[in-house]
Amino acid sequence: MKTVLIATKNKGKAKEFESLFASKGYEVLTLLDIPNAPDVEETGSSFEENAVIKAEAIARQAGHFVVADDSGLIVDALDGRPGIFSARYAGEDKNDQANLEKVLEELRGVPEGERTARFYCSLALASPNQETITVAGSVEGLIINEPRGDSGFGYDPIFFVKDLGKTMAELSSQEKNKISHRAHALKELESLLDSFLERERLS
């Protein structure tokens, strides 16, 4: 089976990639499968820059192609925060619950109509043999007042998808993989993937 290395140690994120890549015949490996995988410092000022930094650093070490994502929550009433700091919004220990509670606290008293937000995902596909490509995807929603649902991870329990009448955490993995920001980004990546892999084969 063909393999793709996803530059993450986040098991929840890896599951989304597994579901989405399985249909293309790929086995997903993550940094949890790589001994002594580097912890790449994300020094970029945008999702795209951070995804490229991660993908290129891991690709150099792994010696083959890598998909890295940088994704997060953009809340309009918070001037775009938590943005690129989504995973560490409440501190360096990457505590999902603390991050979620900090966003809710900062939005206390903000009316529903002004709680618009989006999940944004940038994907970078890098190889030691060719130029890195990037794609992006997003999904629009509202931040509700309290968590709902037991699925997903991160900010999913407070991100309400109006068209579906559910939070991200109330969706099945199949439902989420149809509409998520990562799903949209992966659809964009899929259109470029065959030519990338062909160049990889010929390099």
Q: Can you tell me which residue has the tokens 């579906």?
A: 164
Binding residues: 8-13, 41, 70-71, 153-156, 176, 181-182
Question: How far is C-alpha 149 from the chain's CA centre?
Answer: 19
* C-beta neighbour count of 86 within 10 angstroms: 22
70 is an active site residue: yes
Residues 6+ apart with CB under 8 A from 26: 1, 2, 3, 4
Burial 48-58 (b: 16+ CB within 10 A, else e): bbbbbbbbbbb
**How many angstroms separate the CA atoms of 157 and 11, rounded?**
17
Among 114, 165, 132, 160, CA closest to 66: 132
Cα angle, residue 42 at apex, residues 34 and 97 outer, rounded to 5°? 85
Binding residues for substrate: 8-13, 71, 153-156, 176, 181-182
Binding residues for Mg(2+): 41, 70
* DSSP 8-state secondary structure symbol assigned to residue 144: -
Among 33, 70, 93, 194, which one carries the catalytic annotation?
70
**How many angstroms separate the CA atoms of 78 and 191, rounded?**
34
Give the phi and the psi of residue 84 in degrees, each rounded to 5.
Answer: -70, -10
Q: Which residue numbers are catalytic?
A: 70
